Chain A
Amino acid sequence: MSEHRRQILEMLAAGKITADEAERLLAALEPDSGTNLHGSAGNGKDVDGPAPKSRAKYLRVLVEADESMTGIKGPTTVNVRVPMQLLRAGVRLASLIPKQAHDQLDQALSLHGVPVTLSQIKPENLEELIDHLEDLTVDVDGQDGNTRVKVFCE
């Protein structure tokens, strides 16, 4: 029995705290109990707590453009859904690029305004990136309302 638990029980025995208070304090000592007082923590039945965040499975890109942007008669819409898993696989594919080609690629990317060092993109970095990507929503509206771009995860 831990020291804290013993102190709580002693306070209860001495009448300094009520049984309810003792229960609340003991529950707070449980490592995975949180603030739940009725033993439902950790069993997935606690309806009062925040729901666990579901992981996004797809990256969606929606583009709507009108005639003035595309030169094609009438509105044009592009709707792309890409599995997140494909991003991970893409990084693994990028790891196949020979080291001697990395410098040339980095130079070419920086020339086009993308200052990325390919050798620094690793699968462990990608997991973090994808985790943050799930919260990402990009909305771009054209100046005249002729183009709309939306990027989000679902």
Chain B
Amino acid sequence: MTPNIAIVRVQNPNWRGIRLWVPLFLLWIPLILLVVFVACLVGRVDALRAIAAFWALSCSLPGTDVRVSTDRNHVMVRIL
């Protein structure tokens, strides 16, 4: 399943924290096409293989969770 939403949360005591819900389903198709186009142009890679590899990569992204916390700052990125 391709990733649908990325949640980005940034908390800082000095300013109002942000919580973004990024709709990846709107982004990943043009992004993959762009990356594949660039890869084929620069690296002379077979387009079908490039599409298959990036498709597999994007489908494996859901479940990724990255959290970084310092004394005052908290950043969280989750891909659903």
Across the interface, B69 reaches (CB within 8 A) one of A77, A83, A96, namely A77
Interface residues on A, range: 20 to 34
B71 near A88 with CB under 8 A, answer: no
Which of A3-11, A15-23, A68-76, A132-140 is the interface stretch?
A68-76
Is chain A's interface secondary structure helix, strand, loop, or mixed overall? Answer: mixed
Closest to B42 in A: A98
Across the interface, B68 reaches (CB within 8 A) one of A76, A82, A97, namely A76
Give the Cβ gap from A70 to chain B, nearest Cβ, in Å.
8
A83 near B71 with CB under 8 A, answer: no
B45 near A76 with CB under 8 A, answer: no
Across the interface, B60 reaches (CB within 8 A) one of A73, A79, A89, namely A89
B53 interfacial contact with A, CB 8 Å: yes
Contacts of B54 in A (CB 8 A): 93
Q: A73-B71, A76-B68 given as contacts; is B56 within 8 A of A58 (CB)?
A: no
> What is the total number of residues of chain B having a CB less than 8 Å from a CB of chain A?
25
A90 interfacial contact with B, CB 8 Å: yes
Across the interface, A96 reaches (CB within 8 A) one of B49, B62, B63, namely B49
Q: A74-B70, A77-B69 given as contacts; is B45 within 8 A of A83 (CB)?
A: no
- Cα of A76 to Cα of B70 in the assembled complex, Å: 4
Q: A72-B70, A74-B72 given as contacts; is B65 within 8 A of A92 (CB)?
A: no
Closest to B36 in A: A96
Give the Cβ gap from B80 to chain A, nearest Cβ, in Å.
12
Contacts of B49 in A (CB 8 A): 95-96
Q: Which A residues have a C-beta under 8 Å from some C-beta of B?
A: 57-58, 70, 72-83, 85-86, 88-90, 92-93, 95-98, 101
